[in-house]
Amino acid sequence: MIFLKNISKYFSLVKFAHTVFALPFAFIGFFLGIADSHNHVDLNLFLLVLLCMVFARSAAMGFNRYVDRRYDERNPRTVKREIPAGILNPTPVLIFVVLNIIAFIITTYFINDICFYLSPVAMMVVLGYSLTKRFTFLCHMVLGLGLALAPIGAYLAVTGHFALFPVLYSFAVLFWVSGFDIFYALQDIEFDKSQNLKSIPVWLGVKGSLWVSALLHFMASVIILYVGIKIGYGLFYWIGAGIFIALLFYEHLIVKPSDLSRVNQAFATMNGIASVIFGLFVIAELIFDNLVK
């Protein structure tokens, strides 16, 4: 297949490094499922969950680049992306998306029935985000919802049923991702206005958008603290939660209405670090609690 000859180009296309945003929360859902079901870690199941994350994200990002290619050609910030720059052609990218969708659904078949039955719904959510900027300023929430499927999806893979705390983690991801996507959208306010695209920054401007982002990150922080208190987690969890919340707070210190020069640092660097650190400490807490019990 043509895309196999250009694998590095496809890694760039889907921004594979950005997988760190949702992947740690998927692992949290996985190990929370292990703890709740009192099972041992199944490496085969763990690999299947990891593959689902890779396939879902690759399909979502590839689809985003495909359907937004005309806008990317006109936007000075995105004109060097793979499709508008001529590095990849649209048709092979669409084939790449379809193959990842199929791979995702097939992988869920080998996990359990509920994951398989819900896989088309998950695909509709993660793909649907790419179309939402055309008609609603709530597009950031749809992106957040797509990534929020990670913890509950991984929990379902282990246990086969829903539970309160992985759902709460999903809400934390929803608010966290929506908040930092608003940061990201600040870069394109004028372009989005010129193309009649919708976003919180287009609707509320820079200052209003930063307030909404701060509120969403506050809500994510409250949920993380609430879960820690209700479950009665120990030191590892609270170290991770403290660092995560501190980094969110720092993001809002370095991005100001009068100075958006550090938006990319807040969007990619801070959130990637926050997610990885929180994931590592929560997983350490879950493993430690399991060993003690």
**Angstrom distance (rounded) from CA 49 to CA 43:** 10
Spans of all domains in the chain: 9-292
Name the nearest CA neighbour of 245 among 215, 224, 272: 224
Task: Give pLDDT, residue 293.
Answer: 59
- DSSP SS3 for 80: coil
- Would you say 149 and 155 are in contact if contact means Cβ atoms under 8 Å apart? no
Structure tokens at 169: 């983690």
Task: Give pLDDT, residue 6.
Answer: 66
Report the DSSP beta bridge partners of residue 256. 259
Structure tokens at 241: 């939660």
Q: What is the second-level CATH architecture of the domain 9-292?
A: Orthogonal Bundle (1.10)
**Residue 242 amino acid letter:** G
Task: Give pLDDT, residue 3.
Answer: 44
**Angstrom distance (rounded) from CA 90 to CA 225:** 44
The DSSP annotation for 259-279 comes to B-TTHHIIIIIIHHHHHHHHH
How long a stretch of residues is the chain?
A: 293
- List, run by run, the mean pLDDT of 10-residue segments along the chain (293 residues): 61 69 94 92 96 94 95 94 92 94 98 98 96 96 96 98 97 97 93 96 96 97 98 96 96 86 76 93 90 62
Give the position of tokens 């690999």. 47
Task: Give pLDDT, residue 18.
Answer: 65
- Count of H-run helices and E-run strands, the chain: 13, 0
Structure tokens at 56: 């879902």
Name the nearest CA neighbour of 224 among 279, 147, 292: 279
- Would you say 247 and 270 are in contact if contact means Cβ atoms under 8 Å apart? yes
